[in-house]
Structure 1
């Protein structure tokens, strides 16, 4: 009785299948943004603190301790702020790439989805970082090139997979033909042996 209930639960269960590229690409972009933001933000905060406090350097050991302590806190805070900002910007840019790619797939433009995603992401990246128009053109061209390279890689992967399947089929047919010939040869040998023993 419990097995029927388990089967009913399995049939009524809601399954959500999220393609890997939906979370891998934005997740990798967020991690990259955090890393870049931590390094750049902490360095900028350190230089800013040094510039703001250059005219009042401490004179005692306690003063140096407090100076370095407050500098470290400012560096940490500046790094975390920049990490959050860069992670958000890069994560949204990567999510834009995935959204454009998925939109092209749903529209039936599967052959050009990488190129369209590169173009769209280049424009989105330029808008996110408020770049001048010349820089937006460069990021768009770079996105087009990256999309073209990814399209070429996908084409070559599909071509190689097709070649592997074709070769596997040929080897299976050759093996079946060789096995059939071996059976025929074994059948002839058995027949010859029977004729020889009949003599």
Structure 2
């Protein structure tokens, strides 16, 4: 009879532990953009921050170039070497001024973007997890309202920006709802989801139930 090898008392009984299953996109099918809040916030921050940084860098560079030209218009160089250092210094200051302006603009817009995303998620939570265009519109209007108060805009300017935010939030929310509905319809067509299951868009689910009745 072969002798069995003694097992170390501290060794686990199961040498291959059951690791948790990896999180897949299917776990967030009812989330906005099929992404959890953290990933969605990061996506919004990267998109808004990068675009605003480029715009701020462009406008800041132009402003710095004009300022440099005005400051040195009375002492222009007279030699070739002088012009070389003139343009070299100008390019350096334009680049530095553009980067500073871009970073400031991106940081400012990223803060308001985070406010919008978190407000939208908060409205979803207060409404019991119901996600639709109403929360997106409300978050857009609320964020723009706070921004208008922060910037101390006048009454007419505030009303104009709120109207723009209302229209933009409405279309953004409807776009998200349509995206989730289209993905649900695709899963139904592929057979991975039953037609009786809800898509997560309550008003479209009601329309679908009425059409099946």
Instruction: Please confirm whether the aligned pair reaches a TM-score higher than 0.5, indicating the same fold.
Output: yes
Unaligned runs of 5+ in 2: 1-10, 21-35, 195-213
C-alpha separation in 2, matches of 1:151 and 1:2: 51
Higher helix proportion: 1
Find the partner of 2:38 among 4, 12, 19: 19
* Maintained 8 Å contact 1:49/1:71: yes
Q: Which has the higher contact order (CA 8 A, sep 6+)?
A: 2
Aligned residues: 164
Aligned to 2:17: 7
Once the two structures are TM-superposed, the CA of residue 148 in structure 1 deviates from its matched residue by 0.6
TM-score, length of structure 2 as denominator length: 0.66
Aligned to 2:82: 63
With over 3 angstroms needed to count, the CA separation of the structure-2 counterparts of 1:6 and 1:135, relative to structure 1, is farther
C-alpha separation in 1, matches of 2:70 and 2:89: 14
Q: CA RMSD in A?
A: 2.8
Aligned to 2:111: 92
With over 3 angstroms needed to count, the CA separation of the structure-2 counterparts of 1:4 and 1:139, relative to structure 1, is farther
SS at match of 1:110: coil
SS at match of 1:56: coil
With over 3 angstroms needed to count, the CA separation of the structure-2 counterparts of 1:105 and 1:59, relative to structure 1, is same
2:39 counterpart of 1:39: no
With over 3 angstroms needed to count, the CA separation of the structure-2 counterparts of 1:168 and 1:4, relative to structure 1, is closer
2:94 counterpart of 1:75: yes
C-alpha separation in 1, matches of 2:188 and 2:155: 49
Which is worse superposed, 119-128 or 53-62?
Answer: 119-128
- Counterparts of 1:112-127 in structure 2, within 5 Å, are 112-127=134-149
Once the two structures are TM-superposed, the CA of residue 7 in structure 1 deviates from its matched residue by 3.5
2:120 counterpart of 1:110: no
Aligned to 1:145: 167
C-alpha separation in 2, matches of 1:33 and 1:18: 22
Find the partner of 1:53 among 72, 85, 92: 72
What whole-Å deviation, never above 9, does each CA across 1:101-156 have from its counterpart, x for those lacking one?
A: 11111101633210111102222443555544432322221111111102222332
Once the two structures are TM-superposed, the CA of residue 5 in structure 1 deviates from its matched residue by 7.5
